[in-house]
Chain A
Amino acid sequence: MKKTIPLTLIFIAGLLGVISFVIPHPSYQVYDEWIRNDLLRVLSAFAVVLALGSLLRVHFDKIKRKRKNWQFSWLLLIAFGGSAVVGLFGGVAADGVLPTAVGSFQFDIQTLYENIVIPLASSMFALLAFFMASAAYRAFRVRSMEATLLLVAAFIVMVGVLPMGYSISKHLPGFVQWILNVPNVAGQRGIVFGIALGVVATSLKIILGIERAWLGGGE
């Protein structure tokens, strides 16, 4: 019972997904839209409630059991609590109950996003340039024929894609476009066929109950 119900449900839901592609008739599309616009949307919201529950549980445990770096968990919970209060009561566009500015100092959810989330995220990926530089020096070795081809094509594109590529030779930018339009398309398309077939096979196995990893074990 614990497996048959989910497996029949996934079969029916999968069938509905495929049928919505086959039948354009509005009297069927009405049901298809309800499934998508109401059911799927609400489920995705509840899935997030579950995720937050597990995140908070992990950090509460860390604090309770005084695990390593538990003090930082306090920081997380305070930051989460503070921003959640500001967001929930301050409203998405500072249109909520809670005032979100003291004098000229604003702290509505969008300001928090622009001045905390964006700088942290963009700094993390600015690191990538440094990792790229050190990886270029330490990891990208010409170990085999394939690696040589990869690096030669990379050099041509790296130089050709720059504005200065034009000054080296009139044809260089055109040659880079050619590399991207012909050999690159052939290589990528070959891989895309493989992956697409993999996607179709795995989707079929999931819907027909052959692939049960998502059930997550247990009886």
Chain B
Amino acid sequence: MIDGVGVYDIVAVATIVFFVGVFGFLTRKNLISLLISIELMLNAVVVNFVAFNKYLYPGRLDGYIFSLFVIAVAAAEVALAIALIIALYRLDNSIEADDMDSLQG
């Protein structure tokens, strides 16, 4: 509990950061930038977890533990993503997301 700060304030900050991440995801082309945007979003979500746990369910630990998990998974995700980025870079010397459209049938 932070004095004078309600749950809404924290969640609002998290929301703003989240949407900034979304904006980044939509406007960046570089794969690493995309990754950064995703990290922003993930972090914003973790803040939500923590805030809700702290303010709404102080007697419980689920939000707390979930944030731990999210952090762990995010770490795994980043490791994998960077491995992929490097592999892709080796493949065609570019990590521009728009160059990759082999998903298209």
Do A and B form a real pair?
A: no
